[in-house]
Amino acid sequence: MNGAPTTKAGSVKSSSFFADFINTLLERTPWMDTSTAGKPTTEMCEALFTGRGEISGIRTASTILARYEQMDPSEQADFFQYLTEKLDVDAQAVQSAAKAYADHPDGQRLEALYRVAEPRRQELLRRLNQAPGATGRLVRMRLDLLNLMKAHPQFARADLDFVHLFKSWFNRGFLVLRHIDWRTPANILEKIIEYEAVHAINSWDELRRRLLPPDRRCFAFFHPAMPDEPLIFVEVALVNGIPGSIQSLLAETRPHLDPNKADTAVFYSISNCQEGLRGISFGNSLIKQVVEELSSELPHLKNFVTLSPIPGLARWMEQRSQDGDELAARVLAASRDKPEKLEPLRIELRQLAAHYLVDQKRDDGLPLDAVARFHLGNGALVHEVHAMADSSPNGMRQSCGAMVNYLYDLRTVEQNHEEFLMGRTVASSRDIKALARSASAAKGKKTNA
């Protein structure tokens, strides 16, 4: 009676406009251009350049991508070698064109300079992107490239062009924020399970507990050309008061809170999903936008904080312990023995953590801790540290069970951000400052001894 069209039209899939579109393309058309069976892939790339119109372009692009996807790593390396060497910038030509433009800076000479200054592989990637589903496929291609770069450092030259294009394509202005909940299509939820990098989701039941209760939220950024692929997502708990333990936050049996009665939104997990987009960052705008989103939905919310791991703490304490800090040694030892032994050392662990976060820097003046760099760079401040906050094996291992709240205060976030970037200043609460001082004083004393 009614064919595929009906079910598609307005079916449960109606949200994935672009996906359907692309899938349909993929399904219908014999994209593997069989007439080119004998041609080397590099020759087809050249054909893609010359075919000025798009008449055959989409077909050629599809064939190249499909072939690429069947390559083994050594063939991939050949392909990337081709990109790196054959499609590179002609540096001599750039020199001449730059000189010509320096002498006569007009539009024509600038255009000539642009033409030679951009390596041909950029144009190749743009043309490959015409193929159905190409954007996601190019992201996966770059992941291969990143893996091969270890053995082939020269591929870094080709990688520059992936990065250049991805920065244009995945510009913040093109990303779309979507609410992830228990009514989200299963194929997307499946990816949330897969990509969760902070506190693993072990089953669909566990996922359900993070999405369905009224006091839970999840948001993700998507790109219209990859509508079924989240780029980054954040999980949020709505609570009363700033929480100090991930276990109680995620407890299976906790009572649910009426979201209108919550005063605090906790960002307890932020995960990047696409390794092929490494270096193209979305995290700061995601948090910022989710804060505005939640503020508008739930005007009673007063605090926006994270409950974050301190991934480098134990490693740093280890170092310090080797340098003779007995306190650090004692805490480390306790954490490796039994959690209960940490109980009497709570305050000491918190002092160490505060000191580590606020005072320990890399050579470039930025904090040692990677998560701290991220949130402080966004304009957050170090609000509080907690002992016994993550008693999972991983939590004990990386930070002796300590966790930290970074606070996003919209009134100070821009100033914090600027002072952090300009003066490497780490914003922190009065409590944290006091804790950090105690630790450094303690250290000072000991060193003097």
Task: Dig out the tokens for 331 from the structure.
Answer: 């805490």
CB of 219 to a second copy, least distance (A): 7
Q: How far apart are CA 331 and CA 344, in angstroms?
A: 10
Torsion of CA 108, 114, 117, 123, to 10 degrees: -130
Strands (E), 355-433: 381-386, 403-407
Nearest to a second copy of 6, 319 (CB atom)? 6
* CB distance 41 to 64 below 8 Å: yes
62 is catalytic: no
Angle at 251 between CA 249 and CA 253, to 5 degrees: 130
**What is the three-state SS of 270-295?**
EEECCHHHCCCCCHHHHHHHHHHHHH
CB of 396 to a second copy, least distance (A): 31
Distance of CA 59 to the CA centre of its chain: 32
Q: Which is catalytic among the residues 62, 269, 308, 335? A: 308
> Quick one: which of 55, 57, 60 has its CA closest to 32?
60
Q: Which is catalytic among the residues 375, 383, 386, 399? A: 375
> Quick one: which of 413, 404, 412 has its CA closest to 435?
404
56 is catalytic: no
> Quick one: which of 33, 26, 35 has its CA closest to 67?
33
CB of 153 to a second copy, least distance (A): 7
CB of 183 to a second copy, least distance (A): 4
Q: How far apart are CA 123 and CA 116, in angstroms?
A: 12
For residue 81, what are the CA distances in angstroms to 78, 88, 139? Answer: 5, 10, 18
Q: What are phi and psi of 420, to 5 degrees?
A: -65, -45
Nearest to a second copy of 153, 344 (CB atom)? 153
* CB distance 246 to 202 below 8 Å: no
Tell me which residues are annotated as active site. Answer: 308, 375
